Amino acid sequence: MEHERFIACRRARFDGIDGKVNIPYGTALTCQDGFLMHKNLRVCAVGSQNGMDCFVQDDDGNGTLRGELVGNIQRCLERRDADHQTRWNRVWASALCQKYRRPESEDYWLWARAFFDAPIFDLQAIAALVQ
């Protein structure tokens, strides 16, 4: 399923497909043929690293919350404290998290594009898991 509406979940500043972009947090974008569009210019592919790092789907009107949850989950998992490995062990053991993992690596975790588009309920459950 291709989503139609996206928002910037953080400032997007990079060299885009049709030129340099500097898109503020919260800016609405559309999707056309797999490309995120802003002011009728192609920014990046939806599934690109820039697409996943800076934009979340907003078809359901919950893009801002989705972006906050994704960011909180990622920051929590990046935190190097005494519970770092415990959090990752819970992620690896979770069937919910597994459905959002890219399958190409058996020993390294990468979130799939579906994670960044996940339903709010799933993201809230993952956020609670990694706290």
pLDDT of 10-56, one tens digit each?
999 999 999 999 999 999 999 999 999 999 999 999 999 999 999 99
pLDDT per position as a tens digit, 71-115: 999 999 999 999 999 999 999 999 999 999 998 888 889 999 899
Taking the C-alpha atoms of residue 81 and residue 95, their distance in angstroms, rounded to an integer, is 24
Q: What is the distance between the alpha carbons of residues 77 and 44, in angstroms, rounded to a whole number? A: 26
Which residue shows structure tokens 């898109």?
Answer: 23
- pTM exceeding the 0.75 threshold for the entire prediction: yes
Q: How far is CA 67 from the centre of its chain?
A: 7
Collapsing DSSP to helix, strand or coil, 119 comes out as coil
Residue 109 carries which side chain, given as an amino acid letter?
W
